[in-house]
């Protein structure tokens, strides 16, 4: 059975300067209660790895709105003008990674691989400063694995053993992030007794999850 933490307890585990993977797709499938607890705890100098920057003051965007993060590794920031401005003004560092490459770099870390070889971004400004490997006379861009200190996830359902089920676009990055961090913390819409989730429906097995965030009233639909 996994230990259930409050969002505040989870935030207290995360130090300044930590590297965080945060699940979600434009805020869908992001652990909003943990994010808010990080803001309230005053965490700073965080490195955030996520699909995107969320929206202004929403999802991952909350951490940048409140000045808690110094770096973002993501596939796009198009719906968050605050992050765009901070990047242009040099206030934060942003590493833009093609979406498929981002997912594969995270998967490579989780599966113990040495990196990813890809044609995506080869010959563009996105490849500047990166290693190009020749294989049989053909150039490939080398993308190193991405690993984090903590993965902060959101699931639709969890059981007491930490088995997780996601819904819709929340399935895009949460499952792979669960494999690529030292500590995995999941916030779930509901937590069920063991046996209530069919093994066929489990997206992330409980062996990968370290902590659950306990449900608290009043019910928060996020």
One digit per residue, the tens of pLDDT, for the chain of length 222 reads 999 999 999 999 999 999 999 999 999 999 999 999 999 999 999 999 999 999 999 999 999 999 999 999 999 999 999 999 999 999 999 999 999 999 999 999 999 999 999 999 998 988 888 999 999 999 999 999 999 999 999 999 999 999 999 999 999 999 999 999 999 999 999 999 999 999 999 999 999 999 999 987 554 444
Q: ω before 166 within 30° of 0 (cis)?
A: no
pTM listed for this prediction: 0.94
| pLDDT, position 219 | 45
- Which ranges constitute the DSSP H helices of the chain? 7-13, 32-41, 61-65, 81-88, 99-110, 174-177
| Of the candidates 54, 75, 49, the residue with the CA atom closest to the CA atom of residue 66 | 54
Domains of the chain: 3-213 (3.40.1080.10)
The continuous run of DSSP H or E covering 108 comes out as helix 99-110
| pLDDT, position 217 | 57
């Amino acid at each position: 059975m996994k230990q259930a933490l409050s969002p505040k307890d989870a935030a207290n585990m995360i130090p300044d300067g930590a590297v965080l993977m945060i699940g979600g797709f434009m805020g869908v499938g992001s652990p909003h209660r943990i994010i808010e607890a990080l803001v309230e705890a005053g965490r700073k100098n965080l490195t955030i790895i996520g699909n995107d920057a969320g929206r202004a003051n929403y999802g991952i965007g909350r951490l940048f709105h409140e000045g808690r993060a110094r770096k973002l590794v993501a596939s796009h920031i198009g719906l968050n003008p605050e992050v765009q401005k901070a990047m242009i003004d040099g206030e934060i560092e942003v590493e833009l990674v093609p979406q498929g490459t981002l997912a594969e770099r995270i998967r490579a870390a989780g599966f113990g691989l040495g990196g990813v070889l890809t044609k995506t971004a080869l010959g563009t400004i996105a490849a500047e400063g990166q290693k190009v490997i020749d294989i049989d006379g053909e150039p490939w861009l080398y993308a190193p694995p991405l690993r984090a200190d903590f993965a902060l996830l959101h699931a639709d359902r969890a059981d007491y053993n930490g088995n997780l089920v996601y819904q819709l676009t929340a399935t895009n990055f949460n499952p792979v992030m669960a494999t690529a961090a030292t500590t995995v913390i999941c916030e779930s819409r509901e937590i069920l007794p063991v046996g209530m989730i069919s093994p066929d429906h489990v997206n992330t097995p409980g062996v990968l999850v370290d902590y659950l965030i306990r449900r608290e009233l009043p019910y928060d639909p996020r």
